[in-house]
Amino acid sequence: MEKTVIDTANHIAAYAAKAARVQVVAAYPITPQTSIVERIAELVENGELSAEYIRVESEHSAMSACIGAAAGGVRTFTATSSHGLALMHEALHWASGSRLPIVMVVVNRALGPGWNIWADLTDSISQRDTGWIQFYCADNQEVFDTIIQAYKLCENEQVLLPAMICLEGFILSHTYMPVKIPDQEKIDEFLPPYKPKWFLDINNPLSHGNIVTPDWYMDFRYMMYEAMENAKKLIPEIDKEYGRQFGFEHGELVDKYKCEDADLILLTMGTIGSEAKVAVDNLRREGLKIGSARIRVFRPFPTEEIRKLAENTQMFTVIDRAASLGMEGPLATETKASLYNQEDKPLIAGFIAGLGGRDVTFKTVEKIAKKSLEWMKKGKVEKETSWVDVRD
């Protein structure tokens, strides 16, 4: 039976792993992710979740164990954060290149030094080119639903790639919110058991990840590129199907809010997208035509959706809770790249805010929007990248 629970995004992520009937969990604790794997350990211990729980000595080993398990043909889950994710980096490539549909929750946290355990997307953005699908969530319900949706997506034969479900440390990870957990039978119907395309089988021996010469390597990479393109088509379909079954949709690739007539659209990821919706409502009361577009999926990047949004608006303001040092906010870069070959491009201004867990509230977003509107009236973005509230 469907039930509503009030809990943190981390515990909700553990319940989603249970609802997805994951068979192997290999994980290593790191703040602010720890309460996910702690809760899963409890669920395995008390028999609520029938899974093999592997305690490992590092995140590199956690991902390697997940790769082994997934290569054995079972549904696999892990979770990490920040430096743990950075340590996994090499194994992330092995997971995607082996085309294993591992799902991992990344609780976004800043990288040191200075030692900082608070929200910042730099950890997962740094893994952009590993061939992992990346979802970014804005609330606890979306965390639950996206984990279930991700298994459905990743295990699809047209995709067969792993996915990160990203949620911001503390802002979501340790914040209690009501979440509807659908009936288990219905989840099982939506997400049937994993049928691997290939797996390690003693009766039919094979090995994977062997040497591949220059003559063939690029073709395997091209297949991964195509799989990402397929994912881009499937994500909206799966989100809609989930919505029909369970009543929650999260905006497919881009969660759009009041964009139809907007002169200025705020592009965000994660929880800043929720604040942006409040800012949009407040500014609209002042007669300002503002909209919000929260990017749910960073890889594959929703280029076509960005182009469509650009057709009817004068300006994009991109707010990044990450900085690519030496360039700009990563979402700003991707947005500009998506539009370069288009005619009649909107103005694009980049803002970097909230690094290392600094609060970004609707008031911050309103201030950013008002600055952007000044530039929009002048027809010129006076500062390519602005660091919000920095002591410059």
**Residue of 99, 232, 277, 294 that binds another protein (CB under 8 A):** 99
Nearest CB to another protein, comparing residues 160 and 295: 160
Q: Which amino acid is at 182?
A: P
CA neighbor of 152 nearest in space, from 181, 96, 195: 195
Contacts with another protein in 279-318 (CB under 8 A)?
A: none
d(CA 170, CA 35) in angstroms, rounded, equals 11
> Measured between alpha carbons, how far is 21 from 235 in angstroms, rounded to an integer?
21
Q: Binding to another protein (CB under 8 A): which residues in 132-171?
A: 160
- Residue 178 C-alpha from the chain's centroid: 21
Binding mask 185-214 for another protein (x = CB under 8 A): ------------xx------xxxxxx-x--
Provide the minimum distance between the beta carbon of 212 and another protein in the complex, in angstroms, as a whole number: 5
Query: DSSP state, 107?
Result: E
123-143 b/e (C-beta count within 10 Å ≥ 16 → b): bbbbbeebbbbbbbbbbbbbb
Residues 215-234 close enough to bind another protein by CB under 8 A: 216, 219-220, 222-223, 226
- What is the Cα–Cα distance from 21 to 17, expressed in whole angstroms? 6
Build a one-symbol-per-residue string for 115-134: x at contacts with another protein by CB under 8 A, - elsewhere: --------------------
Q: Which is nearer to another protein, 176 or 222 (CB)?
A: 222
Per CB under 8 A, the list member of 34, 61, 98, 333 interacting with another protein is: 98
256 counts as binding another protein under rule CB under 8 A: no
Under 8 Å between Cβ of 134 and 212? no
Closer to another protein at the Cβ: 160 or 259?
Answer: 160
- Based on CB atoms, which residue is closest to another protein, 197 or 233? 197
What backbone torsions phi and psi does residue 217 show, to the nearest 5 degrees?
Answer: -55, -45
- Measured distance CA(373)–CA(392) in Å, rounded: 23
Q: Under rule CB under 8 A, how many of the chain's residues touch another protein?
A: 19
Contact positions toward another protein, by CB under 8 A? 97-99, 160, 197-198, 205-210, 212, 216, 219-220, 222-223, 226
